[in-house]
Amino acid sequence: MADAERTVDEAMVEQLARLAELELAPERRPAIAEQLDGLLREANAVNRFMDARRDVGPGVRYHHPDVRDDES
Amino acid sequence: MSVAADLTELGLREAGEQIAGGALSPVELVEATLRRIEEVDPQLGSYIHVSGEQALAAARAAEASIAAGYHLGPLHGTTIALKDLVGVRGEVSSAGSKVLQDFVPAEDATIAARLRAAGAIFVGRLNMHEFAYGVTTNNPHYGAARNPWDTGRTPGGSSGGSGAAVAARLCCGAIGTDTGCSIRLPAAFNGIAGIRPTIGRVSNHGITPLAWTLDTAGPMCRTVEDCALMLAAIAGFDAKDRQTANVPVPTYRDDLERGLEGVRIALIEDFTLTDLQAGVASAVEAAIHELEAGGAQVREVPMTDLEPSISALLTVDIAEPAAYHAAWLRERPQDYGDDVRALLEVGELYLATHYIQAQRYRTLLRDQFDDVLRDVDAILTPTVPFTAPPVGATDVTLESGETLDIVAAVMRYNALPPLVGLPALSVPCGFSDDGLPVGMQLIGRAFDEGTLFRIGHGYQRETAWHLMAPSL
């Protein structure tokens, strides 16, 4: 993908890493920017998809409703 | 065929039955297994460490115990190997990493303790993708594991050592773990069976985590029946793991004998059989016909909202590992392999909202699976749309011509069960023209692994794919 089409650039990666208190050597930033750009594009698509379903919360029901986890 | 290969041809049930009946000595089985590992594993790299002395000592103890009348069940005296992230007291449990290369747990992981109590003999620790964070087992610290059907191909991952070792007859059965695909993918690529249990069915205590809300551990064996025997031994509530559920664990014997007649199986419309490599499509279609011939009722069902599944899975599977590894990533980043380090760094830069939206999507998807599984007993898909790529491949070109990163490519069908927390069984169902194994995936209701075993075993009674062995 051409740099101009990118949402995430090296400067942004540097800033985000600083916010996360993560030392990220300058030579690692281009590859991280490219990978993050692709992954966040996908993650943003999930965000937009879920915009239509504000009724759904984040609690994943792993079990049957009639199963209680703490019986012992 | 050598004597070693002869005895190691025995699967878990067969070996256990012969040991119980006095026809086979656990010591002979372990000796044969160790010889075969020595002969074959230099080609495969499936083991990180072989516990020869301990295994022989345990075999002698098992033999004495059985001779004295103390038989512990179908696993007693059989050879089991553990993925390197399952903690065993007194043994280096490195999770395939340099970071944990000196980590020696003080106690067994719960599943290791349960296998030990069932009389299983641990023969060694199996290679894996570093920290289970990848799909190839191309491990920078312990070497690449290789596929026994074609050693130029990957065995998949992250439980690639488990898949290769079981297929190559280097143990009766193995433990794998599955966060996004890591039991089912190597099961499919290596032509064996593997079950990802319901989240909460098997304890994760003592197992190095990857992503807490996705992680599961489960059996990888040559047959579905062997997987059932092993799951019965390791499953169940564990006070040391708050995520385990207090649900009774069946022996699965009744399920295994019920056969295919009347079982209801769904194919997902415009999804199950689309965009597959030709050899995968023909094998899965033939398996569907075989299931129908055995009495199963197969029909298509529509499912919506599957499109975001890969992205949602990757989001959770990037954010949670970054949280677990945060301290080590700052203290010793140079000790990680390049691919794992990059993913961890990327995970540090995600927004909280991305993670939350992905978790919300999981709820939505689970509701839909529950609706479908009210009317059918299982949902069938291929396990992977293609067969094992070459060792070192980082991209895969799909049948449509689209080239994807290998992690995203293997997730098409694999991502669904972890997102919804439901059990999924991969069953070998044929080979491509170039001789590589193909697997089909059966997804079931929560805590209903028994129905998946019923279908998988019913299929294996009618077919012989699980009896095929690689030439090594």
pLDDT bracket for residue B3 (50, 70, 90): very low
What value of ipTM does the predicted structure carry? 0.87
- Cα distances from B454 to residues B176, B197, B398, B410, in angstroms, run 21, 15, 32, 26
CB–CB contact B305 A49 (8 Å): yes
All residues of chain B having their beta carbon less than 8 Å from the beta carbon of residue A50 are: 357, 360-361, 364
Nearest to B446 among A50, A57, A64 (CB): A64
pLDDT in tens, B146-187: 999 999 999 999 999 999 999 999 999 999 999 999 999 999
CB–CB contact A47 B354 (8 Å): yes
* Whether the Cβ atoms of residue B456 and residue B427 lie closer than 8 Å to each other: yes
Using a CB–CB cutoff of 8 Å, tell me whether B348 touches chain A.
yes
The residue of chain B nearest to residue A60, with distances taken between CA atoms, is B363
CB–CB contact A43 B315 (8 Å): yes
All residues of chain A having their beta carbon less than 8 Å from the beta carbon of residue B449 are: none
CB–CB contact B198 A63 (8 Å): yes
Confirm whether B150 is domain-assigned. yes
**Tokens 């239509």 found at:** A52
Confirm whether B1 is domain-assigned. no
Using a CB–CB cutoff of 8 Å, tell me whether B362 touches chain A.
yes
Number of domains in chain B: 1
Question: Domain range for residue B402?
Answer: 7-467
CB–CB contact B345 A62 (8 Å): no
Number of H helices, E strands in chain A: 2, 0
Share of chain B above pLDDT 70, in %: 99
All residues of chain B having their beta carbon less than 8 Å from the beta carbon of residue A10 are: none
All residues of chain B having their beta carbon less than 8 Å from the beta carbon of residue A44 are: 354
- Cα distances from B294 to residues A11, B287, B290, B299, B460, in angstroms, run 61, 11, 6, 15, 11
Using a CB–CB cutoff of 8 Å, tell me whether B216 touches chain A.
no
Using a CB–CB cutoff of 8 Å, tell me whether B366 touches chain A.
yes
CA distance B146 to B300: 36
CA nearest to B456, candidates B245, B150, B219, B277: B219
pLDDT in tens, B365-409: 999 999 999 999 999 999 999 999 999 999 988 888 888 889 989
CA distance B210 to B428: 27
* Whether the Cβ atoms of residue B438 and residue B206 lie closer than 8 Å to each other: no
> pTM here?
0.96
CA distance B299 to B470: 34
Confirm whether B243 is domain-assigned. yes
| CATH label of the domain that carries residue B172 | 3.90.1300.10
Confirm whether B400 is domain-assigned. yes
Nearest to A42 among B199, B311, B343 (CB): B311
CB atoms near residue B327 (< 10 Å): 8
Q: How many CB pairs below 8 A link A and B?
A: 124
pLDDT in tens, B296-349: 999 999 999 999 999 999 999 999 999 999 999 999 999 999 999 999 999 999
